[in-house]
């Protein structure tokens, strides 16, 4: 009994939670999707004074300058209604938003926060801004069409937006040029003036027969000036292998992965030798060796290594046009299924 009595005494000493006198129909409004070009989005929150005395909203503070508040300035009598208005400016604010409006009232218990939210769909850009590159009768967003990382498992198709910049129906010209490992089609096949379509490029990595960073030029029409670059990083595809298969596979081992030449004077020629070994049980085949800079060249005569064999990779680094801290690399691509891509780094400092 003493315990219960103590609890009752403690509860009696706690402050009674004040009840708000302002009752809003809603406290969180979702505009959904709004278009930037349509300008301001506005919503009105309505409330009722459920108290016994008049009440006044003295201030409404928005969490962002993009939101302009408005509210009933006069006192709201018991049983009467008032409002808080939120006006959101979507200009230069694409994407999702969520903003708050903090209400200060003459009755502190009625202070509360309202919210607005939504998604701003950006204003469409002009064709000149969206597609700044002119290619014959077409416009593209970029002169470089990037496939990113792809592998040799299968052909890859990627679509790029293309705009008909002419005053007539336009299709891919018979003068277009694509290398054997690239094919293209226009979707739809014929574009109306001012219409945006898709240039669907299909890349055949097996036909390209190269690895690492690769670049090709294509042409959509005759006499268009500069061509378009199609770039990709090609890696070899390896199907899932069992532990036994991996044990029998080729395996590339490097004598060293980093060559630190410390400090040299500008114009010096740096030479380094790395030993490449096949420590696996099947023949190791070299797909490609790619340098990160024209200043780094190499000499390597073998295209394959039988198990247990090694060969020297001779690397030359010309510092003539360089200065400061340097990090250059050679990337070796092989049929080692565990580590098909291995990197050798040359680093140091070139002083003038």
d(Cα 41, Cα 60) in Å, to the nearest integer?
Answer: 18
- How confident is the model at residue 11, as a pLDDT? 46
Beta strand extents in 204-251 (DSSP E only) = 212-218, 228-235
- Asked if 103 and 113 count as a contact pair (C-beta separation under 8 A), the reply is yes
For the four alpha carbons of 186, 191, 194 and 197, in that order, the dihedral sign comes to negative
- How confident is the model at residue 21, as a pLDDT? 86
d(Cα 204, Cα 155) in Å, to the nearest integer?
Answer: 5
Positions in the chain short of pLDDT 70: 1-20, 222-226
Q: How far is CA 185 from the centre of its chain?
A: 26
CA distances for 95 relative to 122, 142, 308, angstroms: 8, 24, 58
For the CA atoms of 260, 263, 269, 273, the dihedral, rounded to the nearest 10 degrees, stands at -20
CB atoms within 10 A of CB 212: 17
Instruction: Give this prediction's pTM.
Output: 0.66
Residue 248's H or E segment, with its range, is helix 243-248
- How confident is the model at residue 252, as a pLDDT? 97
Q: Tens of pLDDT along 26-42?
A: 999 999 999 998 999 99
Q: What is the CA radius of gyration of the chain?
A: 34
Q: Tens of pLDDT along 148-188?
A: 999 999 999 999 999 999 999 999 888 788 999 999 999 99
d(Cα 322, Cα 305) in Å, to the nearest integer?
Answer: 35
- DSSP secondary structure letter of residue 3: H
- How confident is the model at residue 15, as a pLDDT? 46
Those residues with Cβ within 8 angstroms of residue 274's Cβ, 6 or more apart along the chain or in another chain: 254, 255, 256, 259, 312, 313, 315, 344
């Amino acid at each position: 009994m003493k315990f219960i009595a103590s609890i009752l005494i403690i509860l009696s000493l706690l402050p009674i939670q004040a009840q708000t006198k302002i009752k809003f129909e809603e406290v969180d409004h979702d505009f959904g999707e709004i278009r930037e070009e349509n300008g301001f989005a506005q919503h009105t929150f309505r409330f009722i004074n459920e108290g016994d005395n008049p009440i006044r909203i003295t201030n409404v503070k928005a969490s962002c300058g993009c939101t302009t508040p408005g509210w009933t300035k006069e006192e709201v009598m018991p049983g009467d209604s008032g409002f808080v208005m939120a006006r959101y400016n979507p200009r230069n604010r694409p994407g999702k938003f969520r903003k708050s409006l903090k209400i200060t009232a003459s009755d502190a218990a009625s202070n509360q926060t309202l919210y607005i939210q939504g998604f701003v769909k950006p204003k469409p850009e002009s064709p000149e801004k969206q597609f700044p590159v002119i290619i014959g009768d077409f416009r593209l967003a970029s002169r470089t069409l990037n496939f990113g990382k792809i592998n040799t498992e299968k052909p890859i198709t990627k679509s790029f937006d293309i705009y008909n910049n002419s005053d007539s129906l336009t299709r891919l010209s018979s003068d277009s040029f694509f290398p054997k490992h690239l094919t293209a089609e226009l979707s739809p096949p014929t574009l109306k003036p001012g219409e945006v379509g898709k240039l669907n490029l299909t890349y055949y990595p097996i036909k390209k027969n190269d690895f690492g960073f690769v670049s090709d030029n294509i042409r959509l029409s005759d006499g268009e000036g500069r061509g378009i670059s199609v770039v990709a990083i090609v890696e070899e595809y390896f199907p899932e292998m069992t532990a036994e298969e991996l044990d029998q596979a080729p395996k590339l081992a490097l004598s060293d992965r980093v060559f630190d030449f410390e400090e040299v004077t500008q114009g010096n020629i740096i030479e380094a030798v790395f030993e490449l070994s096949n420590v696996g049980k099947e023949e190791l085949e070299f797909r490609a060796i790619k340098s990160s800079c024209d200043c780094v060249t190499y000499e390597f005569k073998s295209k394959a290594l039988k198990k247990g064999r090694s060969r020297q990779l001779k690397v030359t680094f010309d510092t003539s046009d360089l200065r400061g801290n340097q990090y250059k690399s050679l990337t070796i691509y092989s049929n080692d299924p565990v580590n098909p891509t291995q990197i050798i780094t040359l680093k140091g400092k070139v002083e003038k």
